[in-house]
């Protein structure tokens, strides 16, 4: 049989297909739609940060960095975790720089899991987690987040407790959370911490939106709770904090054995990369507080603009306390299903969003929810709402 006629993708990855972000962005481009699907800002990060990367290139920082990252950045990360969260990490042995948070999570899972190990995570979840768990030969065990009081997503503590079995290796937590906009409360984190401690489980925390919280919600790293530093790998990234998603500079901090396990996998994935960007982020992190305060204020305003705009045209959204996504319920438009809704608005109204069903193991639960990114310029959001306002919801979809 011809090689090309066989299924080439391994059975571990077959179920994942193309990511929803690539799919919706391609459709958005074909339809010349305003892209509120994929979450990336449409303005550049701070000019002096961009200049620092250019200067690093000009100064010749163009060869491989060390496996764990340039010392300047590891030191800056260690200072940031200490000053912001009072959690100390040795820059030489407890910090690893990665190709974005995505590689940090994937390398941690590959480095820590045995085949068949179980990974507990909250559903809906960022789609890369499921694929990385599968690549590690591990099994995902989702715990459902459902809209609770005032529409804020919550989990049932009993469901979390019963998700843990003797095969559970770790809990993968994302807060502030994509796609729900939930910021886990201290009480919720204490409960998660108690489960980790009771069952001797490791935690990986994806904190890429650590600076982007609103309405007084506070980001509390799980590692900062008593007894958790020694069993947690805290992951973050420059992409969201500095609006440089294409730089792919991420990192993980944790006790040496966890960082070593991550590096054991990472050295055979990318090894290391992005030297000039790492050096620029090292400088940027020293000013992250001031820069992110400005970004947070701007995003807060954008969130409200989109929220009110969507609500006025029959798309009420769930509360968003962090990150840069709004989840809207599409049922008032007459669509029961956000997959056809998203396709319809991209093709017919020229506005792209992502169906949240893509973030669920049980897509039925997120069936009526569409995710809109609000990390866009004011005029872009206004244009999106104006386009949606003129869409005849009842018309049937035809391809562009």
**Residue ranges that bind ligand PMP, judged by CB under 6 A:** 39, 100-102, 126, 174, 178, 206, 208, 237, 239, 245, 248, 250
Contact 73, 242 (CB under 8 A): no
Closest CA to 308 of 380, 381, 377, 376: 381
Q: What is the CA radius of gyration of the chain?
A: 21
Compute the least distance from the CB of residue 49 to ligand PMP, in Å. Answer: 15
| DSSP string for 138-178 | -EEEEEE-EE-GGG-EE--HHHHHHH--TTEEEEEEESSPT
Compute the least distance from the CB of residue 367 to ligand GLN, in Å. Answer: 19
From the list ligand PMP, ligand GLN, none, partner contacted by residue 19 (C-beta under 5 to 8 A by kind): ligand GLN
Which of 106, 349 has the CB closer to ligand PMP?
A: 106
CA dihedral of residues 126, 239, 329, 186 (deg, nearest 10) = 70
Compute the least distance from the CB of residue 165 to ligand GLN, in Å. Answer: 29
CA distance 127 to 140: 12
Window 171 to 230, contacts with ligand GLN (CB under 6 A): 178
Which of 333, 356 has the CB closer to ligand GLN?
A: 356
CA distance 140 to 237: 24
Letters for 3-22 (x = contact with ligand GLN by CB under 6 A, - = none) are ----------------x-x-
Residue 369 vs residues 121, 304, 336: alpha-carbon distances, Å: 20, 18, 9
Compute the least distance from the CB of residue 294 to ligand GLN, in Å. Answer: 21
Which of 219, 231 has the CB closer to ligand GLN?
A: 219
CB atoms within 10 A of CB 394: 8
Compute the least distance from the CB of residue 227 to ligand GLN, in Å. Answer: 31
Window 25 to 64, contacts with ligand GLN (CB under 6 A): 38-39
**What residue is closest to ligand PMP based on CB?**
100
Which of 105, 143 has the CB closer to ligand GLN?
A: 105
CA distance 352 to 346: 5
Give every CB contact of residue 14 below 8 A, 6+ residues apart in sequence. 7
Letters for 130-169 (x = contact with ligand GLN by CB under 6 A, - = none) are ----------------------------------------
Residue 381 vs residues 240, 295, 301, 351, 352: alpha-carbon distances, Å: 19, 16, 11, 10, 12
Which of 81, 240 has the CB closer to ligand GLN?
A: 240
**What residue is closest to ligand GLN based on CB?**
39
Letters for 60-89 (x = contact with ligand GLN by CB under 6 A, - = none) are ------------------------------
**Which helix (H) or strand (E) element contains residue 370?**
strand 369-373
From the list ligand PMP, ligand GLN, none, partner contacted by residue 360 (C-beta under 5 to 8 A by kind): none
Compute the least distance from the CB of residue 39 to ligand GLN, in Å. Answer: 3
Contact 355, 398 (CB under 8 A): no
CA distance 211 to 305: 20
The residues binding ligand GLN (CB under 6 A) are 19, 21, 38-39, 178
């Amino acid at each position: 049989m011809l090689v090309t006629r066989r299924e080439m993708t391994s059975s571990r990855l077959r179920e994942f297909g193309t990511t929803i972000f690539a799919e919706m962005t391609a459709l958005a481009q074909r339809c010349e739609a305003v892209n509120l699907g994929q979450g990336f800002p449409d303005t550049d990060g701070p000019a002096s940060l961009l200049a620092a990367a250019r200067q690093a290139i000009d100064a010749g920082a163009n060869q491989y960095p060390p496996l764990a990252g340039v010392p300047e950045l590891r030191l800056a990360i260690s200072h940031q975790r200490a000053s912001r969260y009072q959690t100390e990490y040795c820059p030489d042995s407890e910090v690893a720089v990665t190709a974005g948070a995505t590689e940090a999570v994937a390398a941690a899972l590959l480095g820590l899991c045995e085949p068949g190990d179980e990974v507990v995570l909250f559903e809906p979840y960022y789609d890369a987690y499921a694929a990385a768990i599968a690549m590690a030969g591990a099994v995902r065990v989702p715990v459902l987040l459902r809209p609770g009081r005032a529409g804020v997503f919550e989990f049932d503590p009993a469901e979390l407790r019963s998700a843990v079995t003797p095969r559970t290796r770790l809990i993968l937590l994302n807060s502030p959370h994509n796609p729900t906009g939930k910021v886990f409360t201290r009480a919720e984190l204490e409960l998660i911490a108690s489960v980790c401690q009771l069952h001797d489980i490791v935690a990986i925390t994806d904190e890429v939106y650590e600076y982007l919280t609103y309405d007084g919600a506070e980001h509390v790293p799980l590692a900062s709770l008593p007894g958790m530093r020694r069993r947690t790998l805290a992951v973050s990234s420059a992409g969201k904090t500095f609006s440089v998603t294409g730089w792919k500079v991420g990192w993980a901090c944790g006790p040496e054995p966890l960082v070593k396990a991550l590096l054991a996998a990472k050295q055979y994935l990318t090894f290391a990369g992005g030297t000039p960007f790492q050096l620029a982020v090292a400088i940027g992190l020293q000013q992250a507080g001031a820069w992110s305060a400005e970004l947070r204020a701007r995003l807060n305003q954008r969130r409200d603009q989109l929220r009110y705009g969507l609500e006025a045209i029959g798309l009420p959204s769930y509360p968003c306390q962090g990150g840069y996504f709004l989840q809207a319920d599409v049922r008032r438009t007459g669509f029961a299903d956000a997959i056809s809704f998203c396709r319809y608005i991209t093709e017919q109204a020229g506005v792209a969003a992502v169906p949240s069903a893509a973030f669920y193991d049980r897509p039925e639960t997120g069936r009526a929810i569409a995710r809109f990114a609000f990390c866009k310029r004011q005029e872009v959001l206004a244009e999106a709402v104006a386009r949606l306002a003129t869409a005849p919801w009842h018309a049937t979809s035809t391809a562009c």
